[in-house]
Structure 1
């Protein structure tokens, strides 16, 4: 992951994190197979209630809402490298088990657990938890959703109060407490949604039975939730209404079309674009009277908007044209069609208005409206490593190789920005700064739009998980979050300019699919620039058709730091010609070069090039000469000398080259 975030840890701090993670893993192993033991239900519920109340008071005092904001002093740390697969079983094939039958450090394959929430939800930085009850009133336990706790922009534990846990995993959480832990969003199902914020107070499970609603009543409940802007609950009620209609023999067509059309609208708001399109097309009446044509036009518009947001511009054009056939003259639709023409030009010719994209960044929150231009590249096996990106035709120096919108980006000034320290037990407990917020955002996008899953799964990661194909069970995609973790770790980029309040705790990061295939070289032939989340890749020299496109993952001139970063973050040692040359320098020479480069940086920071006098220019030239003397002329022939870059640019700017 290439980011602008840096963290410095003392050996003692690093050892403390590694020891804590290793000790927790050992405790889990020691308790493996131990039977569930009853706990003090009153104390556990009081713990959750007190923690939730303290959070509410803190947020109210600070004028905040939602999840905890980043601490200025701490960063969350957790262990990785002990993955397990999500459940791929169907609910109907699982055997119901009791809470009292669960065992420690066990994945209860072939079973499903029915639980009721009996406490408020406690939201922590990396997880949420609540107390849940089994079939008996005195059977309670902690249920914790780690990292991926959101469903349709709502906390899943808060959105529901009765849950089904597929093949539950009972373990110790990061604080060493026993818990039923959810790592994969598809392993938890809401069986009763939470219309009443106080529903958790009802301890008798018989009180939790939701009264049977007709499809029409579900539609009304959905409409009410939509009016209240509770889109997650609206989506749930519309979905339940459609389920009731199917159970009752499909029901009246007009009601079915209305619910599908309404759910399409909500799905569009929730960025569930795949389902928004499917719902809109299913809602079509294909009637001939004006009211039916108007409703169908509305459905086509929603389908077109969703397709546009997915980047499926050809489909979007078709849907918008169908809308105009039914109800001509829509100005908004005509605007969309004009934008589609621009997107198609960008895709075919690489013709972008970069100045306009730059001006739009404040309004678009760093996500300018643009298409991908990738036709000059192709992905194939690389002699360097795995798959690589290759030129499809000759590309001249400074020409655009490709432009790509981020699949997903999280900016440091957004609430979703969240970095963590991960301790990977697969790699000698290596500690890395990991963009946990980006990981959450990628998983959420894939859960909402399964059509996007396979192109992400095709990217390199250390853990194969469920493979590279889409799996769906019980009507939802199955996303292996451990697999996505490794893909994000190995493929994410730092995302351009840093906001003023950004540091390693909330670094801006993004995932670009096509760019992720570009392999590393310290002397690459391409460089990237960013216009918000639009990445532009340009050739630094002429690239011939069939030649692999390479760029530098880490551009520091410090060989030792660069080698360490490449190994720690991406898991490889670079053997390009520059690294081979630098490796032959003695440690003393590398140290001297680094010191001289730092002297040059201090000089540049404190001395303006414009109007510089002869004394300043001579000093700059002496610095340049001193740095040059650290390079062996024969060994570094035709190789970049990065330590010289800053001082060379200053001398050129001073006009005294």
Structure 2
């Protein structure tokens, strides 16, 4: 939804065609043993030269770099326990094959490099070498920290493939298919264990290993220390230190397992509270900090963290946020990840009649009310303006779909998060994933199993493209009049993902950093299903039904039903009238009467009332004519056209029309489609009313502010963006940008 889909754009199709050809060629070698094209020395030398060349390249900050990431044919992760696997060597591998029931023991012989994967040359015990490609590794860690030279690792059920350059390599997409082997492990061959300056690991005590862990903050060293059966007190200290190491690498689940409840010390309470905070379990976090602050009142760090946790819990419970502060944080932080909690308002997930599960109101709400303010489960930020000016085309040859932006990184971020904290698995795996068959096995050898391709499918169907700020997008729209906007940055918001599509939306999403805000666009009764558009109905042509084949459904809203029931000759007539209107507006001296007459003729091509089916071809011309009459200082005509613009979108409005028979107040009786430019419309109406019906000006501006709140997510910045003292007639302030 709102992702930068480039599947139909000619300049990117070459990547898809080229990759599909590579896959087809590779299948010709399936089951064959690879023919060694290079010697060990040549392969290592070529890799090192390529790495040095890429490291010496100076990035051009004036260009936006595009890289490609190709998804291989789908395959499941290894779910076999290690004890059931048989050891094989590189010489036993055959091409384009997953060697089920086997494992490789390898050691890196070069420093690691990073492209879309982390790469290195690896050898087996016989000295045979191959390229190793590890995908979905932590993007915030340097390649050499992930795969340092001399690292020993096990590849479960390895997959040998033909690479794009014609060479051969081992590709690993699932994190659980790789096991890093510590140097002290008995699986490491003696010839790989020896080396100058290394400790005699076989003679080290628990205390020695604890000191190593303290020196290097290495969780594996703490784990090794526990293998030596230290005393109870020492075990407690080692586990607390390891818990902190786990928290530092976002493994809060493991941290909680290391903190024993029966013996809660000051440090243990702090660690437990920290782990709960990392998991966004703010109530439990506050409970631990409350005990900690009562028992140890002089702990100032605990007091500060307790205050922070209380704020998160308050946000989670009451949904009140300092939105202006959030806008400032999102503008400053890179990536714009805000330290905020998720608020789930008067909504709940339930089954629908025909669209699986959906999100429903639990009580009556008014237009503009906040329904949900959700922090992203994971968020990938792509900055086209900063120093890191790059994005990735994620290419799926099985679906022929290509997206430009952060989707590849988003998949990695989610896979990493689930692998580190298996307790979060249901949050993602429970989301709609089409026909993809998910594994029933979630853990093997005491480690989580995360299916990368399941995550990719979930991201494809549930991910959202997003701006840094919907306010910034709104300002851009007011400045440049851009109707369509696709986003490189993206994220996964699980709760919002339950909202089904309808072109005739009754709620709207907006963004501040990695926070998604959902507000009602209409007055809704209890038990009403929330719907918003996945693709805006006016994105291409107002009378064209959007394509939802990617999600596997066809929209059946009133607008789409009307399109299907309308004859083609009617669409031809509308196109002709719209073209005439465009020509009339571009005239040096627009004729208002002629435009109104053409609009009346255009309105006659619709058979159903606008209150039932919005008339999208009328909306923009009426708004433009409202602006023209405002410039000509004809306020009553501006009001007439402004109200007709609203009515064309399905609004039913009482009062405000001229000539006025009484002092009827201006009231929106029924809300229609919600668009950013409606703020412009209401502000033009406020200007016109200030001249002929001052008592209605405040009400019209109030509706402008309410519309702004729905579109932008908040109204605390409204008066910084719109004001009566603006140079523009619609009140837009250029300095609001």
Deviation at 1:173, TM superposition (A): 2.8
Return the match for 1:253 from 228, 232, 241.
232
Asked if 1:588 corresponds to 2:588, the answer is: no
Tell me the distance in 2 between the aligned counterparts of 1:256 and 1:70: 55
| Cα 1:134–1:560 shift into 2, 3 Å | farther
Tell me the distance in 2 between the aligned counterparts of 1:46 and 1:617: 75
Deviation at 1:595, TM superposition (A): 5.7
Tell me the distance in 2 between the aligned counterparts of 1:17 and 1:77: 10
1:446-505 deviations in whole A, cap 9, x for unaligned?
Answer: 1222111111001112353434x67122332111111101111111112234799x9999
What's 2:413 paired with?
A: 441
1:571-625 deviations in whole A, cap 9, x for unaligned?
Answer: 433221112223436353565577689889x98xx99xxxxxxx78949965993
Deviation at 1:350, TM superposition (A): 2.9
Deviation at 1:224, TM superposition (A): 2.6
1:324-371 deviations in whole A, cap 9, x for unaligned?
Answer: 243223334334434444434433333333233334334665333332
Asked if 1:370 corresponds to 2:340, the answer is: yes
In the TM superposition, 1:55-134 aligns within 5 A as: 55-58=54-57, 61=58, 72-79=64-71, 82-124=73-115, 126-134=116-124
| Cα 1:450–1:153 shift into 2, 3 Å | farther
Tell me the distance in 2 between the aligned counterparts of 1:130 and 1:579: 53
Asked if 1:634 corresponds to 2:632, the answer is: no
What's 1:316 paired with?
A: 285
Contact 2:99 2:159 in 1 (8 A): yes
Asked if 1:464 corresponds to 2:494, the answer is: no
Tell me the distance in 1 between the aligned counterparts of 2:165 and 2:582: 43
Tell me the distance in 1 between the aligned counterparts of 2:380 and 2:598: 39
What's 2:667 paired with?
A: none
| Cα 1:168–1:271 shift into 2, 3 Å | same
Tell me the distance in 2 between the aligned counterparts of 1:148 and 1:620: 63
| Cα 1:285–1:562 shift into 2, 3 Å | farther
Asked if 1:400 corresponds to 2:370, the answer is: yes
What's 2:356 paired with?
A: 386
1:149-194 deviations in whole A, cap 9, x for unaligned?
Answer: 6596755323761110011111123444311110101111111469
Tell me the distance in 2 between the aligned counterparts of 1:88 and 1:10: 39
What's 1:653 paired with?
A: 683
Secondary structure in 1 aligned to 2:230? coil
Tell me the distance in 1 between the aligned counterparts of 2:582 and 2:270: 58
| Cα 1:568–1:33 shift into 2, 3 Å | same
1:298-327 deviations in whole A, cap 9, x for unaligned?
Answer: 221122122123221221122112322432
Contact 2:581 2:595 in 1 (8 A): no
What's 1:33 paired with?
A: 31
Tell me the distance in 1 between the aligned counterparts of 2:209 and 2:591: 77
- Which TM-score applies when normalising by structure 1? 0.81
Contact 1:85 1:465 in 2 (8 A): no
Deviation at 1:112, TM superposition (A): 1.1
Return the match for 1:157 from 121, 143, 147.
147
Asked if 1:275 corresponds to 2:254, the answer is: yes
Tell me the distance in 1 between the aligned counterparts of 2:21 and 2:42: 27
Return the match for 1:475 from 425, 440, 446.
446
| Cα 1:285–1:152 shift into 2, 3 Å | farther
Bigger Rg over Cα: 2
Give aligned pairs, total. Answer: 603
Tell me the distance in 2 between the aligned counterparts of 1:327 and 1:190: 40
| Cα 1:627–1:133 shift into 2, 3 Å | farther
* Consecutive unaligned residues in structure 1, runs of 5 or more: 64-68, 195-201, 226-233, 287-295, 608-614
* Consecutive unaligned residues in structure 2, runs of 5 or more: 477-483, 625-644, 646-677, 690-737
| Cα 1:415–1:28 shift into 2, 3 Å | farther
1:191-224 deviations in whole A, cap 9, x for unaligned?
Answer: 1469xxxxxxx99646469742443333333333
Deviation at 1:259, TM superposition (A): 2.5
| Cα 1:224–1:243 shift into 2, 3 Å | closer
Tell me the distance in 2 between the aligned counterparts of 1:348 and 1:624: 53
Deviation at 1:77, TM superposition (A): 4.7
In the TM superposition, 1:419-568 aligns within 5 A as: 419-427=391-399, 429-433=400-404, 435-462=407-434, 464-467=436-439, 471-497=442-468, 507-558=488-539, 566-567=547-548
Tell me the distance in 2 between the aligned counterparts of 1:597 and 1:133: 71
1:269-320 deviations in whole A, cap 9, x for unaligned?
Answer: 22222223333x239855xxxxxxxxx2122112212212322122112211
Asked if 1:307 corresponds to 2:283, the answer is: no
1:45-93 deviations in whole A, cap 9, x for unaligned?
Answer: 01111111122322xx559xxxxx997253415245x211101122222
Deviation at 1:145, TM superposition (A): 1.4
- Which TM-score applies when normalising by structure 2? 0.73
Mean CA deviation greater in 390-399 or 581-590:
581-590
Contact 1:492 1:512 in 2 (8 A): yes
Contact 2:63 2:389 in 1 (8 A): no
Secondary structure in 2 aligned to 1:462? coil
| Cα 1:640–1:426 shift into 2, 3 Å | same
What's 1:228 paired with?
A: none
What's 2:639 paired with?
A: none
What's 1:290 paired with?
A: none
RMSD of aligned alpha carbons? 3.9
Tell me the distance in 1 between the aligned counterparts of 2:69 and 2:289: 48
